[in-house]
Amino acid sequence: MSRVRLGVLVSGTGTILQALVAEGLPVVVVVADRPCRGLERAAEGSIATELVDRRLFGGFGQGFARDEFTGAVVEALRRHDVDLLVMAGFGTVLTQPAHDAYEGRILNTHPALLPAFPGWHAVEDALAAGATVTGCTVHLATLDMDAGPILAQEEVEVRPGDTAATLHERIKEVERRLYPETIRKVMAAGVAPVRPTP
């Protein structure tokens, strides 16, 4: 079997990306929806980068052309023959064109034990609910946010006095280990290179 080629989507600091690269995963391109440290980390590691700036598609308000943006992301990935798509702190929900191109081949990590606390504020929501345990989930991404099939989970204790920052950092420590492990298992299970059709 040919080597599976990973594309990674980022929006922030790129610490998850850094963990994937440190584990030797075959990342061939990093795509971002905004200028960010993640792109810089990729460039420092001699990994190809693509900026598909969502500001060019209407920015962050109601005028955002999400389908057109998604199409541009897919085109960027196609330029690098990506087989498996890995979201690593990516701040934009992708629409149907991404799922058509990479059906069953988009992975995401989420800082909670799904189905509990889906959405953008999972850590804050866990604290607000008085949860004593939360964690990290790796799942297949679907059109419904944080609702795809769960591939792996690990618990993280909520400690007395935790803030969103302290709790999120402990979740990230788990995430940086669990995500690469899970990606390797997915690849080993037979995610053969399947180039998206033009």
Please give the positions annotated as active site: 110
| CA separation for the pair 33, 182 (Å, rounded) | 24
DSSP the chain: -PPP-EEEEESS--HHHHHHHHTT--EEEEEESS--HHHHHHHHTT-EEEE--GGGGTTTSTT--HHHHHHHHHHHHHTTT-SEEEESS--S---HHHHHHTTT-EEEEESS-TTSS-STTHHHHHHHTT-SEEEEEEEE--SSTT-SPEEEEEEEEPPTT--HHHHHHHHHHHHHHHHHHHHHHHHHTT----PPP-
